[in-house]
Amino acid sequence: MTFWLFLRSIWIGLVLIGALMSYGVRRLFRGRMTVDQRERLRGEVMARACERLGATFIKFGQILSTRPDLLGPGYIEPLARLQDRVRPESPRAIEKLLTRELGERRIHLASLDPVPLAAASVAQVHVAVLDSGEKVAVKVQRPGVDRKIEGDVAILTFWAKVLSLLPALKPLSLAGAAGHFGEALKGQLDFLREADNNRRFAFNFKDVEGMAVPRVHPGLSTRRVLTMEFIEGVKGSEPEKVGGDRARLARIGAGAILKMVFTDGFAHADLHPGNIILTPDQRVVMIDLGMVAEIPGELMRPWIQTFMALSQQNGAEVARLLYVHAPEVGRPRKARGDDDFDYAAYEADCVAWFNRWAGKPLGEIEASVVVTGVMGILRRYRVRIDPSFTVVQVALLVAEGLGKQLDPSLDIVQLAFPILVKAVVANPVGREPKREVRLRAASAPRPAA
């Protein structure tokens, strides 16, 4: 294992050095580039390096693509396109693992399709039929993947710390992202934890008509095997194939995601259209629940207040809330020589951004565009927000994106408002601010002369 880690470390180092050289050469030949073009080039080079390094690093790139508070669109878009392209394990290896994990219970799987329905870096999913005749999906962990991931994460953390020394990459907080990624990926290795997540989501959605998660078969589930009901339907990434009442499906899905975020404080942390299934019986089903984010109770009220300020287009209040509750605040790129945070400029930029939407009906404003602009301001001024907030924001963007594809008239802000009002009442106390605003911008009310 130690020798393999040594060889793997050398290979990763060579790939990363090659990526840096590739970036330098391409910069040289392209000549003068704008800031956005340079960012886009870095994102393409980073995505290509992740592809060359394999499944663990592809997963790392995918998770980085969900952090718009850390990365700009030039990084996000190439990383979001990364796909797990891995060969399935042999049927013999899968059968051996099933027998070892389930023991005598293996007999209850009357048949198992040897060709996986899906294969990713951590596990693959097979369609099976129980001895009762029920069709199920069996998620099987790749043999030995836990040891491989442990080694890759150790190497990744080392190289992330090395790359963080480069001025161009320091703002990305790669070392912190690598640590967060390692914890998230290790959590995905315990399928009993995913089974618990399934049950918790099922309880939270029990009174939401039309919303569901796959039912787990606990007797046929272990840390490395997860057996669930098989869900027939169309993935949310193919909404054009959905029939029936599309507007109803849009309201169900968006409403459930809003409840998940603002009422339950327990969110799917890998939410994208491919992890949502729209069924023929007009249900919205969330799948692949291994990664979740729990919003601490003390952060619920600040987050709800922030979204209310967003919905009211109150740029000054959005700026204040994100600033006072930020775990870390740095210096903006244009003020590296100044030790003081320029709150006036920061607030003015937030206010100016929201002024662009002044006078427009809420139904004509896309929350995704507004949030993307705010994330850009946070990156520029080095205002780091709590990671749970970014998971929430991604969930809201998915809710709006999928909802509008199903029903273009869907207004996510209008749908959210009554939920927000109830959430404010249910969460009367929030966390104490980490800092106070010492300087008000020119946009704040001025005393009379």
Catalytically active residues are 270
Backbone φ, ψ for residue 427 (5° rounding): -125, 70
Backbone φ, ψ for residue 396 (5° rounding): -65, -40
CA angle 164, 169, 173 (to 5 degrees): 60
Backbone φ, ψ for residue 144 (5° rounding): 75, 0
Q: How far apart are CA 345 and CA 241, in angstroms?
A: 47
| CB distance 172 to 70 below 8 Å | yes
The residue with tokens 């704008």 is 34
Q: How far apart are CA 131 and CA 108, in angstroms?
A: 5
Q: How far apart are CA 372 and CA 381, in angstroms?
A: 15
Reading phi first (left if > 0) and then psi (alpha if -120 to 50, else beta), residue 244 is in left
Tell me the pairing of strands 211-212 and 284-286. parallel
Q: How far apart are CA 209 and CA 285, in angstroms?
A: 11
Q: How far apart are CA 34 and CA 166, in angstroms?
A: 20
Q: What is the residue type of 328?
A: E
Query: In what helix (H) or strand (E) does residue 414 lie, and over which residues does it extend?
Result: helix 412-426
Q: What is the residue type of 221?
A: S
Q: How far apart are CA 150 and CA 132, in angstroms?
A: 38
Q: Say if residue 229 is exposed, middle or buried (CB neighbours under 10 Å; 0-12, 13-18, 19+).
A: middle
Looking at the chain, how many residues does it have? 449
